[in-house]
Structure 1
């Protein structure tokens, strides 16, 4: 930044301190002077004074009182996007090099997992932390990420610290970590479909199926392969949840395309079996993705390492 630009920037920002921006950002989310004051441990008159000062400085009312609370003006909506990013980067700049001690930290991590991974990983993660990081809290979320390209937008929109996702190809960015390949097959009742390791294409096409997808788009990978061959399967239901599949598939002729890791959770203490597909389908790449803005966060680096060890 050249000296002239720096002088102009200093002159403009010298009138607005960080506390005013915090009040603005909090009020934008709370839509209430009272709740904003409580959140920032301020008095309501102090919040009102800050808002009045901002209105004078910016030449805009910013918030209009209504029956639904303090509603932001168009200018305030536009401004909050930049203010939110600025406050985030300011916080990261201050704390990115701070140490993280799992034994004493009281941090809450927001983690997104597909449910079959959550069934296997979550008990190990919590049991480990009860002993080695008793002050931590994990907020497990079911955020659906469809592609590597859209991962950053979803992570930032939902304030996700770390997400485990299954992707068709590895992301091109550095803000991911490859864990393992997960073979794609299908699950069905062995008393109906036999005990061979695979099923025929005729059986696959003619058998009604439950489509499992943990992503925002429909389960398109198999459909695209079939479409290229001029074929189509019969789907009777779509779901992102594996838990009901154990009861749905047992004692029926239904099939469900899943990964081998998901099958390990589904085919447990029942007659269900994992079959190889009669199609050439690439494996899913299971990866950890994190917010690119938190690339140097020591807590997230610790959590990534722990999950690798537990997996």
Structure 2
């Protein structure tokens, strides 16, 4: 007998008869009439060339051949049911899985401490890995399911992606508390360009446009140090007279630990829109939905609005 010759609905009836042993009860469970169940049993008997179930005083009793089929059919139907309902099965309290999130070092500093604390409370079996948004082909990696979510200023993620706004922020000037400019309120454009700078070169992210704007000014910044990431900025500014242009929420996390101050930026710079991105392919995936809802609830200025 070939699989193409078997009607899956008949096996569902077979499995129900094994459990209930009454045609009337099977009909009730499946929302069928009793004649329909009897007809299904007749078709099964013809296909397998066996009575399968015999009427007795205690109900429909399976034949030895039916009992032989029982375990395999039950297992197969269970596997199919689990597969087609897999997207409804994510339970963070019991889940054992890892998510990969694309973010910059700013994202790791700003988002991860609170996110990991909350995951520890809600989903002890869940682990997080991060990848740099610029270190992988983020579009392809997210489409392939290698990266579950991405967070940041990512103008390259357009067609095929969903996104939700987390917040908007300005750039500020960050410097140590003892810096000669720390007492200047407001910080003037001439003060800014007269100071020595550490510049963060973050090619491939939206932050790169800030360098272009600042370096169009005359005079240009006196850049004494260039670094490829933000993670060391606090240590550098803490022990030098350099100043840096950084996003305000990153500055807020660095001020107290490193003895720094943040000042409104004297140069007009665009506000940064930080979004949460996911691929349309995983829009309905419950695990992805859970993680992005968690990130949104923890870090969005718009938390409380309906989530996608």
Task: Please classify the TM superposition score into its range, dividing by the shorter chain length.
Answer: 0.5 to 0.7
Partner of 2:165: 178
1:239 is aligned to 2:221: no
CA deviations 1:85-125 (Å, max 9, x no partner) are xxxxxxxx967744321112112101123223323432322
- Secondary structure at the counterpart of residue 187 of structure 2: coil
Structure 2: runs of 5+ lacking an equivalent: 1-82, 300-308
1:221 is aligned to 2:209: yes
- Secondary structure at the counterpart of residue 232 of structure 1: coil
Q: Within 5 Å, give how 1:96-115 maps onto structure 2.
A: 97-115=87-105
Partner of 2:118: 128
Tell me: CA distance 1:260–1:129, structure 2 relative to 1, closer, same or farther (3 Å): same
Q: Within 5 Å, give how 1:26-175 maps onto structure 2.
A: 97-144=87-134, 151-153=138-140, 155-156=142-143, 159-167=146-154, 175=162
Shift of 1:170: 9.6
Shift of 1:234: 2.4
* CA RMSD of superposed structures (Å): 3.1
Partner of 1:208: 196
Residues 242 and 266, structure 1, Cα contact 8 Å, conserved in 2? no
Match of 1:189 among 158, 167, 176: 176
Shift of 1:228: 4.8
- Secondary structure at the counterpart of residue 199 of structure 1: coil
**Which is greater in Rg?**
2
Tell me: CA distance 1:94–1:212, structure 2 relative to 1, closer, same or farther (3 Å): farther
Partner of 2:290: 302
Shift of 1:256: 0.9
Partner of 1:71: none
Q: Within 5 Å, give how 1:10-25 maps onto structure 2.
A: none
CA deviations 1:4-26 (Å, max 9, x no partner) are xxxxxxxxxxxxxxxxxxxxxxx
Partner of 2:303: none
What CA distance in whole angstroms lies between the structure 2 residues aligned with 1:169 and 1:200? 34
1:273 is aligned to 2:273: no
What CA distance in whole angstroms lies between the structure 1 residues aligned with 2:283 and 2:114? 25
CA deviations 1:44-82 (Å, max 9, x no partner) are xxxxxxxxxxxxxxxxxxxxxxxxxxxxxxxxxxxxxxx
Residues 162 and 288, structure 1, Cα contact 8 Å, conserved in 2? yes
Residues 163 and 278, structure 2, Cα contact 8 Å, conserved in 1? yes
What CA distance in whole angstroms lies between the structure 2 residues aligned with 1:290 and 1:131? 24
What CA distance in whole angstroms lies between the structure 2 residues aligned with 1:302 and 1:156? 18
- Secondary structure at the counterpart of residue 302 of structure 1: helix
Tell me: CA distance 1:114–1:220, structure 2 relative to 1, closer, same or farther (3 Å): closer
Structure 1: runs of 5+ lacking an equivalent: 1-92
